[in-house]
Amino acid sequence: MLIKELPLVEYLTGLDFTLPPLGKFLVLSAVRREGVLLGAYLNEGGKQKVVGLLALGFRKGANIEYLFVQDQFRRQGVGAALVAGAAAMARHKEASVLRARALMGDSFGAAFARILEQAGFEVCDRANLIRVPLDARSKETWEEFMRRRGSRICKRLRDDGYWVVSFAEAGGDVLQRFQEDWKLHFPTHLDPNTFLNNREHRAVLDYSFIALKGQEHAAYSLVTTIDDSTLSFQHLAASFKYQGLGAFLLPIVAFAEKATAEGRFKVFSAMIYERNERMNRLVEKFLRPFATAVTEQRFYLLHL
């Protein structure tokens, strides 16, 4: 078997297999950002045939974005060879680390994790991916929460001068100030501009909300979609001044009411890092009752 660069034209026209939709998305997304595709070639009747591929991205260091092996060639070491090829390519490009993440929800994720561990990768972070269907049951659970506690908390916040507006409805000045302000007032590792200007993970502006107290930004939420039917909760942040005061609840309430009332999206997901203790407590309280699946995500790192 030979591992070598798979030219984009060959990927687009010359493969005997098709990738699942998420695979296609991750491959194209890596290629668009100057990533490289590696192919696993087997000799068949004198011809080199591609039986697996790996997308290697170079965004903030080298990343394995996706790995796929054609069904009938699985469990023969092809995946492991592609990962070894990715490490060699990353070294060649003078990256100092290679990253990868495995979604542990199915046997493929577990196999991928095993391949990474056998190649010397170490776990550097963990997160839980929570999926919540936006269906009648969620709507009911949500309404029940609002009756029991939510409405009272929101009323108290409103009485204290808080209000909430979607990114879509916010006037130019609210948005402009937000874009100038967030760096000073919100945790800087969350950059809303990453999503406000993203062509793949497109911000859904009428489902993303800013909570203000008077004219000050107190909290915001930002959700995106890649396919117009599922939503990803990307950010939920309270500004330093308003942390611990419950302001974050207003964007959540606004989101949940819109999402459960409209039925435009079928499901939403949120990824919560294990080390983010405060967010995990929130999730336990507010999100767990709605979740249908919680999948562990492992972030791996290989020093080159």
Ligand X SMILES: CC(C)(COP(=O)(O)OP(=O)(O)OC[C@H]1O[C@@H](n2cnc3c(N)ncnc32)[C@H](O)[C@@H]1OP(=O)(O)O)[C@@H](O)C(=O)NCCC(=O)NCCS
| Nearer Cβ to ligand X (169/227) | 227
| Nearer Cβ to ligand X (106/262) | 106
Long-range Cβ contacts of 100-105 (<8 Å, 24+ apart): 100/63, 100/64, 100/299, 100/300, 100/302, 101/297, 101/298, 101/299, 101/300, 102/297, 102/298, 102/300, 103/129, 103/295, 103/296, 103/297, 104/295, 104/296, 104/297, 104/298, 105/129, 105/293, 105/295, 105/296
| Nearer Cβ to ligand X (8/110) | 110
Min separation Cβ 240 and ligand X, Å:
37
Min separation Cβ 94 and ligand X, Å:
24
d(CA 45, CA 224): 47
State the residue number with the nearest CB to ligand X: 79
| Nearer Cβ to ligand X (86/247) | 86
Q: Are 51 and 70 in contact (CB under 8 A)?
A: yes
| Nearer Cβ to ligand X (66/255) | 66
Name the nearest CA neighbour of 8 among 71, 76, 55. 55
Min separation Cβ 81 and ligand X, Å:
7
Q: 2 - beta bridge partners?
A: 41
Residues near ligand X (CB under 6 A):
66-69, 74-80, 107-108, 110-112, 114-115
